[in-house]
Amino acid sequence: MELKNDPIAEMRARIDQMSRLITELHPLTPKLGKPEAQSEILRALFELTKQVEVVKKQLLRAEKKDDSKLL
């Protein structure tokens, strides 16, 4: 499957990449040594994670709808 011809696959690849990057930020946050900043950053990372999951869910729904059209 060629990613450039499949927008769902291309978006899935990019959102998976975003998910990995966000996850990599979590263990770095305590190393800042700035409790107030850490708290806000962790809150923001949690919100980002939630939104990434929304995108993943919508891509899955879109993919399932595309598959049902083939039947």
Residues 11-59: pLDDT tens digits? 999 999 999 999 999 999 999 999 999 999 999 999 999 999 999 999 9
The C-alpha atoms of residue 70 and residue 24 are separated, in whole angstroms, by 38
pLDDT category of residue 68 using cuts at 50, 70 and 90: low
Residue type, 9: A
Would you state the pLDDT for residue 29? 97
pTM recorded for the entire structure = 0.79
Torsion of CA 37, 22, 47, 58, to 10 degrees: 170
Would you state the pLDDT for residue 22? 98
Instruction: Tell me phi and psi for residue 6, to 5 degrees.
Output: -130, 95
Would you state the pLDDT for residue 65? 83
